[in-house]
Amino acid sequence: MSCQLTVSGAMPEPLPQYQRLKAYITEAILAGELKPGQRIPSELDLVKRFEVSRMTATRALKELEQDGVISRMQGVGSFVSVKKTESALFEINNISDSVRRGGQAYFCQVISLGLGSDPAIQDMMGLPRHQPYARSGLLHHADGVPVQFEDRYANLAFAPDYLAQDFTKVTPYDHLMSLGPLQAAEQVFEAARPDAEMARLLRVKVSEPCILLRRRTWSLNLVASVALITAPSSRYRFGGTSGTPPDWAAVLPRL
């Protein structure tokens, strides 16, 4: 979603053009004209609208990125940065990175891939009844042992090529993050018992306690995906850090 910036009043002449352009974009963000996660005008749009050179527009956007005001994604565009809130209990992590950080070999098995039209899922994604979504069922492994089953529903308006991805080589996290910045996320954790099919996939008994994570993520003002993630509590744990602990905390054992 792009935004039409309007020029109101004269720019202060003492400022170089790139700084004036930075000021206008920053003011648009502060005024709420450009919102967190929203795509901002492209370099070409800025060149035409403000009658500046391509070099000037490039420098302005580059410095805004360095200042943390925007994030730029090659081939996708520039977006207003989404500030991380310290009250967030858990971060959104890539399962493949989590497994490898633990010194284990990561592998993904594709169980299912196709279209879905469950009204309950459509409602969670804000989709009309006639609009299907992409669905993937992926079994994530660490050193050959299943640690997590991910049942994900992706919004085709956000990720039109979702079903064309090779999820043995790229995770849904990687693909979705390449399309736009994470704008917001909602997560709910609960204890669960696996049904017979889930127990078979995870290679556990139906009496094995599991963790069920329900996650909904937004990007570019769309629900990008909804995921139901099931993990045996004996093999996988979710965690995160809120705020910044003191330096000496690094010597403490993990929780």
At 188, which CATH number? 3.40.1410.10
Do 126 and 64 sit in the same domain of this protein?
Answer: no
The 3-state DSSP composition of the chain as helix, strand, coil percent (nearest 5) reads 25, 25, 45
Alpha-helix runs per DSSP H in 76-195: 95-101, 119-125, 172-177
Question: What pTM, to 2 d.p., does this model score?
Answer: 0.63
Do 109 and 49 sit in the same domain of this protein?
Answer: no
Position 251 in a domain: no
SS3 label, residue 55 = helix
Position 191 in a domain: yes
Tally of domains within the chain: 2
Render pLDDT for 163-195 as a digit per residue (tens, 0 to 9): 999 999 999 988 998 888 888 888 888 888 899
pLDDT above 90 coverage of the chain, percent: 36
Question: What pLDDT score was predicted for residue 253?
Answer: 72
Render pLDDT for 195-228 as a digit per residue (tens, 0 to 9): 999 999 999 888 888 989 899 998 888 899 999 9
Q: Report the length, in residues, of the chain.
A: 255
Contact 102, 112 (CB under 8 A): no
User: Stretch 114-128: mean pLDDT, rounded?
Assistant: 94
Beta-sheet pairing, 133-142 with 77-80:
unpaired
Question: What pLDDT score was predicted for residue 77?
Answer: 82
**Structure tokens given for 116:** 């879905």
Contact 115, 68 (CB under 8 A): no
Say which amino acid occupies 133. Y
Contact 226, 162 (CB under 8 A): no
Do 115 and 204 sit in the same domain of this protein?
Answer: yes
User: Stretch 92-115: mean pLDDT, rounded?
Assistant: 86
- Say yes or no to pLDDT of 12 above 70: no
Average per-residue pLDDT in the chain? 82
Sign of CA dihedral 38, 44, 49, 55: positive
**Domain enclosing residue 119, as ranges:** 95-232
Question: What pLDDT score was predicted for residue 244?
Answer: 61
